[in-house]
A and B are shown apart, each in its own frame.
Chain A
Amino acid sequence: MTVTATPTRTPLEPAADESTAKKRGDPVRFVILAGLLALLLIVIAPLLIIAINAVKSPADYAGGGPLALPAHLYWDGIVDFWNRVDFGQKLWNSFVTSFTVAVLGVLLSVLNAYALGIGRVKGRLWFLVFFLVANLLPQEVLVYPLYFLAKQVHLYDSLIAIVVIFTVIQAAFGTYLLTSVYQDFPTELLDAADVDGAGKWRTLWSVVAPVSRPTLGVLFTFFFIWTWNEFFLPLVFLVSNDNQTVPVALGVLQGDRLMDATMTSASGLIGILPAMIFFLVFQRTLTRGITAGAVK
């Protein structure tokens, strides 16, 4: 109303009307957008429900049910859960394991891929097939001997065993991916390094690794997140409370009778948060990298 009453606006209006009319003339557009938004809501609704119930007091929850917004923010559920499972310790365990695996895994992948992609050692195709299959093997087929061997060398219930195992498993994928990248490595750079009299080690660390840094970054991100989210082997290996990682600690508490509805919700929320932080921090790398290596 006020808009039409303002004379200075009138010259602009026909144009604005025209474009909105054109858009309105295409109802399909909004049906599709509404459909997608509804689907998106369904996808993120479970996470939203967990988030709103994590900050409700049990009384608030009993009164309003799971779908009402919290009457006031209540952090005790989260704090109680954090203290009860010593969540800081679990976060630290997960972080140390994932970080070490990511560093060592990238290192091992680089060494393998240097030999296979640039060195083109004999039988390289078979090595590649081997590493690919190694990465795809179900962990069930490795778990018992690993468990048995780890007990023999007193590495059962130790983060070291988890680091060693996942370094190898992740590097198997990394080797596969990085070899296909190194196959197309510019030969001029290698030749130039040769001419400068750089040995193979120097060429690797001062030419090949720096040039492929973006790919190594993607691998690092993958290895970190994958190791963080691993469940099966850590579940088998890390039995004592002090050694558990975040997923194991949360997984074994499922169905614990001491966990009420809001505390379970709180445990879900503090499990989601690190993943969300990685997602936001690494989002660009992830969307770039998730497709890397899958299809050349």
Chain B
Amino acid sequence: MRRKGYGVFLIPGVLAALLVIVVPLVMTVWTSFTKWNGVGEQRWIGFDNYTRLFEDSLFWSSFGNILLLVLAMAVVPTLLGLVLAAVLFDYVAKKFSDRWASLFRSGFYLPQVIPVAVTGIVWGWILHPEYGALNRILEAIGLGGLAHNWLGEPGSALYSVMGIMIWVQLGYPIVMFMAGLQRVDPELYEAADLDGATWWQRFRKITVYLIRPEFSVVLVTTTISALKIFGPIFVLTGGGPSNATLVPSYFAYQNFFEKAQVGYGSAISTVLTVLIVVLAFVFLRLQTRSVK
């Protein structure tokens, strides 16, 4: 039965989306072809911003940094989360109790609910070169030689941010995968037990196989959030020291609001957006496939 005349309900949503999303998006893409400082005259310069972008070593290093952050925010948490979710679901819940499993799950999820600015305060404090707890701990256990200005030295800043982002992200895959495992028929595990399968075999053949849909969703959504990362960089390092932790979104922000190079900032954002939209379509395809 086909229902008619529902289009009117879409009007407020579509108008609002036009105003807040479509118009700004088109303006940014248009601005990326111009030279503009935000107040004066806007001059059309064609692809100049883009050619400049592809010759800009800062732009390339910001994308190199984002690749490492994809590793820290998507790849590592997804793989580690998969193992931890399987251990919690298929070992702790059975050998101990469901309460232990959900206690661990909540604990691991905790960093996810904390606002990013607070994550910045917490870790900025712990890694602080003068009063930070990490250096104190290292000194206390006789490893004072390893003490470091973790976020302040170009050699270690990005790795420190990566470690922090693993801490932030880990809970999300665990929760997603444990929810996905609820769908799995317990008889499958029992049958595997009867056949004498080891835990690792069950993990590989049953767990990993059955939660493929969640796996791809988690991997793609975390990758997209890694590409968009701004807050943690702003509060932890400000892109420094000497651009060691610069990422595209922060690079765009600097051009917009610090250097008043709005055209150039728009070109950076446009490239980032194209990348994310491509990934979003991958996400959609994976999702429609998993439904079938």
- A-side residues, CB < 8 A to B, are 26, 29, 32-33, 36, 39-40, 43-44, 46-47, 49-50, 53, 65-67, 108, 111-112, 114-116, 118-122, 127, 129-134, 136-149, 164-165, 167-169, 171-172, 175, 187, 190-191, 200, 204, 225, 228-229, 231-232, 235-236, 246-248, 250-251, 254-255, 261, 264-265, 267-268, 271-272, 275-276, 278-279, 283, 286-287, 290-291, 294-296
Contact = CB atoms under 8 A, between A and B. Distances in A.
27 contacts: A36-B88, A44-B107, A44-B110, A119-B4, A121-B7, A134-B17, A136-B224, A136-B277, A137-B21, A138-B227, A138-B228, A140-B249, A140-B265, A141-B266, A144-B28, A144-B31, A169-B21, A172-B17, A175-B13, A231-B115, A232-B230, A283-B106, A291-B180, A294-B176, A294-B214, A295-B287, A295-B290
Contacts of A140: 228, 230, 248-249, 252-253, 256, 265, 268-269, 272
Given A130-B17, A138-B227, 4 more contacts: A36-B104, A144-B266, A229-B115, A295-B213
A112 B95 CA distance: 46
B262 interface: yes
A250 B117 contact: yes
Contacts of A145: 23-25, 27-28, 31
A143 B270 contact: no
Contact of A146 (B20, B31, B110, B284): B20
A228 B136 contact: no
Contacts of B214: 291, 294-295
Given A146-B20, A228-B115, A261-B125, A119 B106 contact: no
Contacts of B113: 225, 275-276, 278-279, 286
A1 to B, nearest CB: 29
B9 A115 contact: yes
Interface of B: 1-10, 12-14, 16-17, 19-21, 23-25, 27-28, 31, 38, 84, 87-88, 91-92, 95-96, 100, 104-111, 113-118, 120-126, 128, 131-133, 136-137, 140, 167, 170, 172, 175-176, 179-180, 213-214, 217, 221, 224, 227-228, 230-231, 234-235, 248-249, 252-253, 256-257, 262, 265-266, 268-270, 272-273, 276-277, 280, 284, 287, 290-291
A279 B123 CA distance: 20
A118 B3 contact: yes
Nearest to A138: B228
A114 B25 contact: no
Contact of A172 (B21, B38, B132, B287): B21
A119 B235 CA distance: 45
B144 to A, nearest CB: 13
A283 B114 CA distance: 13
Nearest to B1: A187
B121 A129 contact: no
A119 B6 contact: yes
A65 to B, nearest CB: 5
